[in-house]
Amino acid sequence: MKHFFLILSSIFLLISELQAQPLRPLKQVKLSDSTLIEMPQIIIIGKRDGLISKTPGSVTILNSRDIKQFAPLTSNELLRKVTGVNVVDEEGAGLRLNISIRGLDPDRSRNVLMLEDGVPIALGPYGEPEMYFTPAIDKMSGIEVLKGSGQILFGPQTIGGVVNFFTADPPSSESSRIKLTGAKKGYFSGFGTYGNTIGKTGFIVSYLHKRADDLGTTSFRLNDLSAKIKIALNSNSNLGIKLGYYDEESNSTYIGLTQSMYDQGGQDFVRMSPDDNLPIKRFSVSTTHQLQISENISLKTTAYAYTTSRNWQRQDFSFNSSAANKTGVIWGNTNIANGAVYMINSTGNRNRQFEVAGIEPRLSINYNFLTIKNELETGLRFLYEKADEQFIIGQNYNAASGIMRDNEVRTGNSISAYAQNTFNINSKLSLKAGLRVENFDYERNILRGRYRINNINNVIRDTSIVSDDNTLALIPGLGINLALNEKVNIFAGVHKGFAPPRIKDAISTDGIPYNLDAELSTNYELGTRMNFENYLSAEFTAFILDFKNQIIPISNSSGNVNATGLVNGGQTLHKGIEAGIKLDFGKISGSKNSYTVETNFTLQNSVYKSNRFIFINGIPVNVKDNALPYSANVMVWNALGMNLQNGFGLRIVGNYIGSQYTDEVNTTTAAANGRIGELKSRYIIDLNTFYRIPKTNANLNISVKNLSNKRYISTRRPEGIRVSLPRLVTAGFEINF
């Protein structure tokens, strides 16, 4: 930490020195929407569509127009529009995001770098990258997704891709917005913003209240309050500040249906553990200072900090009829082995608090070398994270307090340095070459736990076990972009995929480092991007993810409860083809109306590449060439759209997900407890109609989710079957003034 603060001091000293020098005036930067002021914040791709053509890799921007036209209930619906992305619904409300990109395991989106306005949002970006907090799509202006070599500038994860949620920036003049959505079962979403610019200061304040009483099995309440402030310090520099407060409480649970309960029907949304309760509170602050040192040199420094608490009360249960301390409540079929769930008169309270703080100065330099124009981005990233974890045993089925079983503190410090240079060889050909160095030091301090003493297992005792370890990696990347003409680009890239091991899994409860390797892969992309007079746009990409070592999750949230920690999964291979096509027949015919057809599809194969043995009932089974869990070979998203000049619009969306295995052995027959078995393919249809009220800035919409009312198993995780939401009709109203 001494070196950490020394480096920080040097950075701030450098900024102060630069500000003291005479500088050229800062050029005004504007978004395509002239009513907005672009915040000085980290941008992954850029909200301006023109930047996409220069990106050497697969990229998707989902903007506010997409949100209005598809009226998504959750971000899951919108993300399914992105090729290569499979989103697994857990509770139907989108409160816990599970994203799989290109066949990677979707468990809590741990293989994806998740950001909001360029700042990490995972519990612990290095040591615990799970998504227990998910930004609500109701308050977003859009989402940008990057899967190519350009992601090496960001970190720590560079395996599947980068997903960045972005919110509205301060308006240049007084502006307000109200958006309301309602449905049956007590579902309501109310979002409002107010913003203005006074003198050199622009600001926007937003508030979201969202709730549901019976959205499937889920009831929840959440309040989300945030503010953005932009201050023009002088003609050469500006400052952006963002504040956030998130408060959620839900009846989220891990327990799901047994197979017999699902087959019998009529119990799809029964609350098996009605007293389970998950409150989440999150406080966040970030600030970005942007300094234009000269016409060709700029320095952007972002600092951020956030805390997240999630104290999860969950009732205990067992599949063993002879389990002690049962409540007498039984679910499922007692005549089938492991086919019944016996509720226990106790709770496991998983109380966890997380702290994250980081700072990242990034220098951008435009320069000429010989006859080549170059763009250099280089910077440092320092991040500190801490997790306090306690496991409390409650003495009855709804107890939130009791006896402390486990208590530990995990900390990590990372230093990352990166540089990426763009060689603009000529007006058509550009080359990006980059390198990032990651160094992560981490420590696990176990204060209380369960141990074997005098041949007795699970004896609870206080301890003082401290152990540490380190991960160091070099992450190179190379990308090329060739503009054949103004309408067609070809891109290719290769980069090293990297993700550090979770701290809790890398060091045992006895303080022994497992030497768990980082996840390492070599990722390849080759594709083309086309845009013809805005009536036809398309992107085709072939990809390979070649893992030297993929870490396979073995945890409650991944549905694997018979082992602890994560394991080195060995070599895996992911390969496939992605295609996205959008055609506007209105523009082809010269009509003022828009009639669009969109089709996105992914064909992929994700398998274990080398020998790896799983013990089933004591018998080793080699899973080489088996498919990875929750990796669908075929995914298709398509939409028919209509936008008329009279303000009426319509979107019909179809989403096909191919069959998936849920375990490494690729078991097809469903287990009695519901946790293992093949997920059948399904095709889901959504409908949204909207109307812009003439001479106003108001819109109405009616949306139907799961139009055909199809019933299917969305996931067998975390611990049992989750059933899809039935047909749901929502109505919305939005006005800007």
437-477 pLDDT, tens digit per residue, is 999 999 999 999 999 888 888 899 999 999 999 999 999 99
Which positions ≥6 away from 432 have C-beta within 8 Å? 56, 149, 150, 420, 421, 422, 423, 477, 478, 479, 480, 481, 493
Residue 565 has pLDDT above 60, yes or no: no
Question: Once rounded to an integer, what is the mean pLDDT over residues 271-297?
Answer: 96
Which helix (H) or strand (E) covers residue 375, if one does?
Answer: strand 372-394
CATH code of residue 396:
2.40.170.20
The pLDDT of residue 508 is 76
Which amino acid belongs to residue 121? I
CA distance 634 to 605: 9
Whether the Cβ atoms of residue 242 and residue 204 lie closer than 8 Å to each other: no
Identify the residue with better confidence: 169 or 54: 169
Question: Once rounded to an integer, what is the mean pLDDT over residues 594-600?
Answer: 96
Task: Name the average pLDDT for the chain.
Answer: 89
Q: Which tokens sit at 683? A: 């095709």
Q: Which of the four pLDDT bands, split at 50, 70 and 90, describes residue 19?
A: very low
Q: What angle do CA 634, 674, 326 make, to 5 degrees?
A: 155
Q: Which of the four pLDDT bands, split at 50, 70 and 90, describes residue 20?
A: very low
CA-to-CA dists, residue 86 to 98, 103, 242, 654, 658, angstroms = 8, 8, 31, 14, 10
The pLDDT of residue 49 is 44
* Continuous H helices in 496-648: 503-506, 585-589
**Dihedral (CA of 656, 658, 659, 663) sign:** negative
Q: Which of the four pLDDT bands, split at 50, 70 and 90, describes residue 38?
A: low
Q: Which of the four pLDDT bands, split at 50, 70 and 90, describes residue 552?
A: low
The pLDDT of residue 293 is 95
Residue 284 has pLDDT above 50, yes or no: yes
200-250 pLDDT, tens digit per residue, is 999 999 999 999 999 999 999 999 999 999 999 998 999 999 999 999 999
**Structural domain boundaries enclosing 218:** 2-736
Residue 506 has pLDDT above 90, yes or no: no
Residue 564 has pLDDT above 80, yes or no: no
Lowest-confidence region among 24-38, 43-57, 525-539: 24-38
The pLDDT of residue 502 is 80
Closest CA to 168 of 191, 209, 189, 139: 139
Residue 319 has pLDDT above 60, yes or no: yes
Q: Which of the four pLDDT bands, split at 50, 70 and 90, describes residue 712?
A: very high
Q: Which of the four pLDDT bands, split at 50, 70 and 90, describes residue 52?
A: low
179-207 pLDDT, tens digit per residue, is 999 999 999 999 999 999 999 999 999 99
Lowest-confidence region among 18-27, 153-162, 235-244, 283-292: 18-27
CA-to-CA dists, residue 58 to 161, 345, 433, angstroms = 10, 51, 17
DSSP 145-177: EE-SGGGGGS-S--SS-EEEEE-PPPBSS-EEE
Question: Once rounded to an integer, what is the mean pLDDT over residues 405-432?
Answer: 95
352-404 pLDDT, tens digit per residue, is 999 999 999 999 999 999 889 999 999 999 999 999 999 999 999 999 999 99
Q: Which of the four pLDDT bands, split at 50, 70 and 90, describes residue 330?
A: very high
CA distance 589 to 717: 49
Number of compact structural domains in the chain: 1
The pLDDT of residue 35 is 38
Q: Which of the four pLDDT bands, split at 50, 70 and 90, describes residue 607?
A: very high
